[in-house]
Structure 1
Amino acid sequence: MSRLTHSETHMVHRIGWLRAAVLGANDGLVSTASLVVGVAAAGSGRPEILIAGLAGLVAGAMSMAAGEYVSVSSQTDAEQADIARETKELAETPEEELNELTSIYLTRGLDEALARQVAVQLTKKDALGAHVRDELGISETVVAHPIQAALVSAATFSFGAVVPLIMAALSPTAQITSVVAVTTLVALAVLGGLGASVGGAGITKGAVRVTFWGALAMAATAVVGTVFGVAAG
């Protein structure tokens, strides 16, 4: 008898690295482009603009890496503490933990007899795994890893930041602001659409929300650069 295999592709397993990657690239584009636009609007020359942008790239990449590492490490520490507490409770009060697992399955729609049976069978096979998954809501599928998140954030930040720097280096000095702004908006739209597509969301919505906030950031820094540039002049 032939069997048809049912293959499914889900997006949830990408959450750990996708969030760090999209956040890193978006930050690299927006922060560096805004810095370049602000410095250019103040009337600075190309060398000053490029130095400021390069400094922003290095500082931003390191900051992103450190921030992601600390953030994900804190999350991991909290999860490990919960798992340790659950391990202790399973050893000290197994019957209460079994009742707790039964009640969880009751709230999910099973009748009392079946909920108890499921709880007993899962406890026999892997009591801690059942409680970690169904009571604590911790799943290996969506767990992010600190070093992975840090490296992905730093790399994608640098990748995003390179775009406005290249455009600033290649554009005529008088047109750096406009060229960097337009290029960055296009890149943000592509990034937002790509991130939404990989995550299984709407491409247009993802592109619009990223582009809007990028445009707002560059407009704000352009105003600041213009005001302080005029004041300094």
Structure 2
Amino acid sequence: MSADTSLPGQHPREPHRQGLAQRLNWLRAGVLGANDGIVSVAAIVVGVAGATSEVAPILTAGIAGLVGGAISMALGEYVSVSSQSDSERALIAKEKRELREMPDEELVELAGLYEAKGLRPETARQVAAELTAHDAVAAHLSAELNIDELDVVSAWHAAAASALSFTIGALLPLLAILLPPEQWRVPTTFIAVLVALGLTGWISARLGGSSKMKAILRVVIGGAIALAATYGVGTLLGATGVV
């Protein structure tokens, strides 16, 4: 049986524990990756299917979209989160240096921050002194920068989560377009993709505590527009003999 790490007075389902930023980072990367994998690869294969009924071009385009998209998502997440993490680590290093070189000035600054939040001057000084004695770095990072040193997000984790979720999402439309008989390929893909998007929208809303219906409608309507547009383009190109 695991030990209870809740803080005194903390409600059981409220996200006050360490690691919240990491979990939200994984959630964001995972949901975005899955949605992009579903929509982008579905749009590719449906567009190609609109132009030709041959399996080889559809399979080639789908696999190329899956591999290229997964790498692109991972790289984008890595660059984005790396920039954020580097900035946070630079701020943490700066705060530690200031605490070593000018501890008295930093204590006055911390007390001023708490006073600005509504504490009486004497209470603010007492709180600042007690928090500094407990963990000066954590106190200043929280009050000044809203940063937790132990909760700096990992660029590698975000990249891996994004690439994996993109791949899983992309496999759905790829299988949906290839497995059914020719006349059912596009309708099956449309249905499978819209249901999957609705599910990812529901999951993201449930985990994030937001409106489920709004989240579902956003991704489903956006996905339907993308599929309809690419299928229309593919059909037009196929009918005119361009491809």
Question: Aligned residue for 1:226?
Answer: 235
In the alignment of these two chains, the number of paired residues is 230
1:197 deviation in Å? 1.0
Residues 104-158 of structure 1: CA deviation (Å, up to 9, x unaligned): 2122221111011111111122111111111111135764211111111111111
Determine if contact 1:11/1:198 at 8 Å carries over to the other structure: no
1:202 deviation in Å? 2.3
Structure 2: which 5+ residue stretches go unaligned? 1-8
1:95 deviation in Å? 2.4
- Alpha-carbon distance change, 191 to 20 in structure 1, aligned in 2, over 3 angstroms: same
- Alpha-carbon distance change, 219 to 140 in structure 1, aligned in 2, over 3 angstroms: farther
- Alpha-carbon distance change, 141 to 217 in structure 1, aligned in 2, over 3 angstroms: farther
Alignment pair present for 1:182 and 2:182: no
Corresponding letter in the other structure for 1:220: A
Aligned partners of 1:102 and 1:42: how far apart in 2? 68
Determine if contact 2:113/2:144 at 8 Å carries over to the other structure: yes
User: Quick one: higher RCO (CA 8 Å, sep 6+), 1 or 2?
Assistant: 1
1:79 deviation in Å? 0.4
- Alpha-carbon distance change, 88 to 140 in structure 1, aligned in 2, over 3 angstroms: closer
- Alpha-carbon distance change, 141 to 195 in structure 1, aligned in 2, over 3 angstroms: farther
Question: Aligned residue for 1:8?
Answer: 12
CA RMSD of aligned residues (A): 2.1
Aligned partners of 2:94 and 2:231: how far apart in 1? 52
Alignment pair present for 1:73 and 2:73: no
What is the correspondence of 1:204-219 to structure 2 with a 5 Å cutoff? 204-219=213-228
What TM-score do the two structures reach when normalised by structure 2?
0.87
Which of 119, 127, 130 pairs up with 1:118? Answer: 127
Aligned partners of 2:238 and 2:87: how far apart in 1? 48
Determine if contact 1:45/1:173 at 8 Å carries over to the other structure: no
Alignment pair present for 1:107 and 2:111: no
Corresponding letter in the other structure for 1:96: E
- Alpha-carbon distance change, 140 to 162 in structure 1, aligned in 2, over 3 angstroms: farther
Question: Aligned residue for 2:44?
Answer: 35
Aligned partners of 1:88 and 1:142: how far apart in 2? 20
Question: Aligned residue for 2:31?
Answer: 22
1:211 deviation in Å? 1.0
- Deviating more after overlay: 20-29 vs 59-68: 59-68
1:99 deviation in Å? 2.0
Structure 1: which 5+ residue stretches go unaligned? none
Aligned partners of 1:29 and 1:11: how far apart in 2? 30
Q: Percent identity?
A: 48
What TM-score do the two structures reach when normalised by structure 1?
0.90
1:30 deviation in Å? 0.6
Alignment pair present for 1:199 and 2:211: no
